[in-house]
C-alpha cells in the first residue's frame, strides 16, 4: 500500500496531476496552508471537495492558477489585478474578480465573481504546471480541513483531519506563511479587504496607490469571515499580557488545567505552554500548529496572549479572534 502523505518528488507530483485530470482529489502544500485540490473545470470533482470538507455549497472556493495568463481564462482582468499580480504573484494573495461567462459557475459557488490565486510553493507550482500540461486550467482548493476546523499547515494535519477519507497528500513540509491568503475584492468601485493574510493592507495600498477599504456588510460571503471559524475544540480565550498570570491563577484555583500560547515571560503557572514568537510572521507560521498541539494537551482551557489587531499582526489577531469566538459558543 502506498504511504500517505507522500514526499512530493517528481513522480508523486506527476501522479497527482494525473489524478486531478481524472477528476480525483489531491491535497497539496501551498506557502499559506495545505489545499484540498480538484480540477476547477470538473463539476463532479468540485462537488467531491464540498462533500469531503462538509462545506455548504454556496461558499465559493479559490481557484489556483500558475499566473496571470491562466487567471485571464477565468476572469476579467482589470488594471488593479495586473498591478497586484505583478507585485505579489506568485504569493499569498487571492483576487476576487468578475468571472468570465465562459468559466464554469460551479467553481465559485455560483457567484458572478471568482477568487483566483497563484501560489508560490514550488510543489504547488510544479503540480499546476503538470496539470496545465494535461490541459488543466486551474485547481479549485479550499484549505484541506473539515469545515470550521483549524487549517492544516503540515501534511500530517490533513491526515489527522480527514482520516481515511484523505486523498493522496503531497508532503511539501511545513507551510512558510501559516495563515490563509489575503483576499482582496476587486469587483467593486474600490478595493475591499475580505480576509487579512500574509500580504498586509499597507503593502496592497502601496502598490495600488489608493485606500483598501475594510470589509462591510455588503461584502460577498466568505467562509473565512464567519465569526466562529478556525476553531479548536478546547475553549480559547484571549487575554491581555498584563492579565495572563492572574487569569491563569484564577482558572487553576477552580481546578482547571490551563494551556497557554504567549510570548516569553508571562504565564509560568500554566499546565502546558508553548512559546508564541515575538515576530508576527513567525507567530503566523506557528499559529495553527500551536493551536492543534494545545487542543490535544488535555487542558480545560487555552489562554492566548492578545496581539495587536493591525499591521503585520492583523492576520494572526483575526484568526485568534475567530478561534476564540468559535470555542466560546461551544462551551
Can you give the binding site for ligand TXA, defined by CB under 6 A? 30, 32-33, 35, 59-62, 94, 96, 108, 111, 113-115, 117, 119, 141-143, 180-181, 183, 194, 220, 222-224
Give the nearer residue to ligand TXA in terms of CB position, either 94 or 273: 94
Q: Based on CB atoms, which residue is closest to ligand TXA, 36 or 258?
A: 36
Instruction: Report phi then psi at 320, rounded to 5.
Output: -65, -40
Pick the piece of the chain touching Mg ion (CB under 5 A) from 8-16, 136-144, 237-245, 288-296.
136-144
Burial class (CB in 10 A: 0-12, 13-18, 19+), 298: exposed
We find the least distance from the C-beta atom of residue 105 to ligand TXA, in angstroms, to be: 10
CA distance between the termini of the chain: 41
Q: Binding partner of residue 222 among ligand TXA, Mg ion, none, CB under 5 to 8 Å per kind?
A: ligand TXA
For residue 58, the minimal CB distance to ligand TXA (Å) is 9
Pick what 49 binds: ligand TXA, Mg ion, none; C-beta below 5 to 8 Å, kind-dependent. none
Given candidates 143, 182, 200, 273, which one binds Mg ion under the rule CB under 5 A? 143
Q: What angle do CA 82, 43, 48 make, to 5 degrees?
A: 105
- What distance in Å separates the CA atoms of residue 225 and residue 204, rounded to the nearest whole number? 19
Distance CA 279, CA 313 (A): 9
Cis, peptide link before residue 90, omega less than 30° from 0: yes
Size of the site for Mg ion (CB under 5 A): 1
Centre a 10 Å sphere on the Cβ of residue 12 and count the other Cβ atoms it contains.
21
Min separation Cβ 261 and ligand TXA, Å:
21
Give the whole-angstrom CA distance, residue 140 versus residue 68.
16
Residue 147 CB, nearest approach to Mg ion (Å):
8
Segment interacting with Mg ion, rule: CB under 5 A, options 22-30, 42-50, 84-92, 138-146: 138-146
Which entry of Mg ion, ligand TXA, none binds 191, CB below 5 to 8 A by partner kind? none
* Max Cα distance, the chain (Å): 63
Q: What cell does 329 get?
A: 459558543
198 touches which of ligand TXA, Mg ion, none (CB within 5 to 8 A by kind)? none
Residue with the CB atom nearest Mg ion in the bound state: 143
Query: Are the CB atoms for 82 and 202 separated by under 8 Å?
Result: no
User: What residues form DSSP beta bridges with 27?
Assistant: 36, 169
Interface residues toward Mg ion, by CB under 5 A: 143
Amino acid at each position: 500500500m502506498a504511504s500517505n502523505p507522500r514526499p512530493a518528488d517528481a513522480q508523486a507530483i506527476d501522479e497527482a496531476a494525473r489524478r486531478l485530470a481524472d477528476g480525483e482529489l489531491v491535497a497539496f502544500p501551498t506557502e499559506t496552508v495545505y489545499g484540498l485540490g480538484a480540477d476547477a473545470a470538473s463539476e463532479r470533482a468540485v462537488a467531491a471537495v464540498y462533500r469531503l470538507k462538509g462545506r455548504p455549497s454556496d461558499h465559493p472556493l479559490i481557484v489556483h492558477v500558475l499566473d496571470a495568463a491562466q487567471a485571464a481564462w477565468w476572469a476579467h482582468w482589470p488594471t488593479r489585478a495586473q498591478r497586484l499580480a505583478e507585485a505579489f504573484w506568485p504569493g499569498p494573495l487571492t483576487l476576487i474578480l468578475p468571472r468570465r461567462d465562459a468559466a464554469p459557475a460551479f467553481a465559485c459557488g455560483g457567484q458572478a465573481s471568482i477568487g483566483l490565486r497563484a501560489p508560490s510553493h514550488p510543489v504547488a507550482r510544479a503540480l499546476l504546471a503538470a496539470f496545465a500540461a494535461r490541459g488543466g486550467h486551474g485547481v479549485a482548493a479550499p484549505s484541506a480541513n473539515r469545515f470550521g476546523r483549524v487549517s492544516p499547515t503540515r501534511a500530517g494535519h490533513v491526515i489527522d483531519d480527514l482520516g481515511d477519507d484523505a486523498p493522496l497528500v503531497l508532503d511539501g513540509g511545513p507551510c512558510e506563511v501559516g495563515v490563509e491568503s489575503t483576499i482582496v475584492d476587486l469587483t467593486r468601485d474600490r478595493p475591499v479587504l475580505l480576509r487579512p493574510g500574509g500580504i498586509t493592507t499597507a503593502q496592497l495600498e502601496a502598490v495600488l496607490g489608493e485606500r483598501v477599504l475594510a470589509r462591510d456588510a455588503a461584502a460577498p460571503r466568505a467562509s473565512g469571515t464567519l465569526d466562529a471559524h478556525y476553531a479548536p475544540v478546547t475553549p480559547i480565550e484571549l487575554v491581555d499580557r498584563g492579565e495572563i498570570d492572574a487569569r491563569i491563577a484564577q482558572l487553576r484555583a477552580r481546578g482547571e488545567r490551563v494551556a497557554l500560547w504567549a510570548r516569553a515571560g508571562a504565564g509560568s503557572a500554566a499546565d502546558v505552554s508553548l512559546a508564541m514568537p515575538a515576530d508576527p510572521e513567525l507567530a503566523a507560521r506557528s499559529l495553527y500548529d500551536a493551536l492543534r498541539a494545545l487542543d490535544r494537551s488535555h487542558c480545560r482551557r487555552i489562554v492566548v496572549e492578545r496581539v495587536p489587531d493591525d499591521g503585520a499582526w492583523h492576520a494572526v489577531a483575526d484568526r485568534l479572534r475567530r478561534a476564540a469566538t468559535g470555542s466560546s459558543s461551544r462551551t
